[in-house]
A = this chain, B = another copy of it.
Amino acid sequence: MNIPQTNKKRIVIIGGGFAGIALAKKLRNKNVQVVLIDKHNYHTFQPLLYQVATGGLEAGSIAYPIRKVIQGYKDFYFRLTSVKEIDTVNQKIISEIGDLYYDYLVIATGSKTNYFGNKEIERNSMSMKTIPQSLNIRSLILENFEQAVLTKDVTESNALINFVLVGAGPTGVELAGALAEMKKAILQKDYPDLDISKMQINLVQSDDRVLSTMSEKSSQAAEKFLLELGVKIWKNVRVTNYDGRTITTDSNLTFETATVIWTAGVQGAVVFGLPASSLVDRVARIRVNQFNQVKGFENVFAIGDIASMETDKFPNGHPMMAQPAMQQGRLLGDNLIQLMSGKKMKPFEYNDKGSMATIGRNLAVVDLPHYHFNGVFAWFVWMFVHLISLIGFKNKAVVFLNWAYNYVRFDREGRLIIRPYKKKSFITFTSDEV
């Protein structure tokens, strides 16, 4: 990997998400050598991926070059690669671009979509955990519409503009709302030769309410908002299969659709090489103690979505969200310095600042620890919090400008199929000479 050997301790961080970046910032100029590794050369602001998928924002606005984050940090190295395996016996990682020894290893690989072992659903449906995946969804939505205008077969064209979202967590709800707004404000105008009333947005959920991790009040408000926007909500329904055309469920309900977006589950993005005992089986997270130390290791840590710290308050680990990830990253930064100087580490305690989701224009729900509210004010709070959380002044400014424009003009201009998402055509073409 061409990293110089020095007499400083080397900390290797795998992953430049919320947790990894928060940790890296804490380790700035701290008399250690830091190697940050990621598959991408940018940090992704995942909470806004759904806006990239639905044309509200450009990908570049919610991504930030990792090298720019660590610009000027002494003894910091970034490497763009995938880690193939961890070798804890020899204290090294094995990557596509060579091996690297570590003194301290921090696993911050985040999470990936969980299809619960159903390979057919995995093959045929879309997931939305990365920017390329969001851009694929954007392309597919538009490609479906472009195909729908070509056919006189109503069954086909209806399936092409039937969007089924599986999972009604924040991602599913936000996507559903955004699609509903696209339908009303854009697709209707862009495709005048199509009966847009046939466009369906189906939100399918195995739980008995949407946003089941939020308050009852927020769930109810979100459902009301979604229904007003024309989203069909199906509760207590579990999707059993999707063959690329038909969704089957554990009830009589089926859907004919060209597009399934799967947001029904996440699991840890585990790297190979850890002993099985350190893994939490259900969603493949890594078991850590209150210092984020991986079970059985002194110098291997896991933070963020990949880490499962079982506490009294969170018996299944913390929610897989940005807040706990950033807080763990920051604390570990301090703790590593403590550890290296032989001092005591501080146990992690999650400071839950609340959670929120936006459904559409003027419509959001916010749960603060002791207060829940929704509507226009919640929507402004949502926007404000997301704006200030973006890294970098320019991204903030460009996102603000886009949102202001989209709000005033009821528009989303990011409807460009830059890289077609190749999927076999849903319809076949005949030489219908007209």
A395 at the interface (CB under 8 A from B): yes
Q: How many whole Å from A43's CB to the nearest CB in chain B?
A: 10
Pick the most buried of A40, A60, A72: most chain B CB atoms within 10 A of its CB: A60
Contacts of A4 in B (CB 8 A): 193, 434
Identity of the chain B residue whose Cβ is nearest the Cβ of A40 in the assembled complex: B417
CB of A60 within 8 A of CB of B63, answer: no
A151 at the interface (CB under 8 A from B): yes
Cβ-defined partner of A413 (8 Å) among B40, B80, B394: B394
Q: How many whole Å from A383's CB to the nearest CB in chain B?
A: 17
Identity of the chain B residue whose Cβ is nearest the Cβ of A187 in the assembled complex: B67
Question: Using an 8 Å CB-CB cutoff, how does the interface string of A414-432 with B read, 1 for contact, 0 for none?
Answer: 1111110000000001111
Cβ-defined partner of A431 (8 Å) among B99, B397, B430: B99
A-side interface size class: 35 or more
Question: Using an 8 Å CB-CB cutoff, how does the interface string of A14-45 with B read, 1 for contact, 0 for none?
Answer: 00000000000000000000000000111000
State whether A433 and B64 are in contact (beta carbons under 8 Å apart), knowing that A59-B58, A150-B1 are contacts in the complex.
no
Question: Using an 8 Å CB-CB cutoff, how does the interface string of A149-182 with B read, 1 for contact, 0 for none?
Answer: 1111000000000000000000000000000000
Contacts of A150 in B (CB 8 A): 1-2, 79, 97-98
A101 at the interface (CB under 8 A from B): yes
CB of B60 within 8 A of CB of A429, answer: no
CB of B392 within 8 A of CB of A401, answer: no
Identity of the chain B residue whose Cβ is nearest the Cβ of A393 in the assembled complex: B405
State whether A429 and B98 are in contact (beta carbons under 8 Å apart), knowing that A189-B71, A190-B68 are contacts in the complex.
yes
Question: Using an 8 Å CB-CB cutoff, how does the interface string of A387-417 with B read, 1 for contact, 0 for none?
Answer: 0000011110110011001000101011111
CB of B416 within 8 A of CB of A3, answer: no
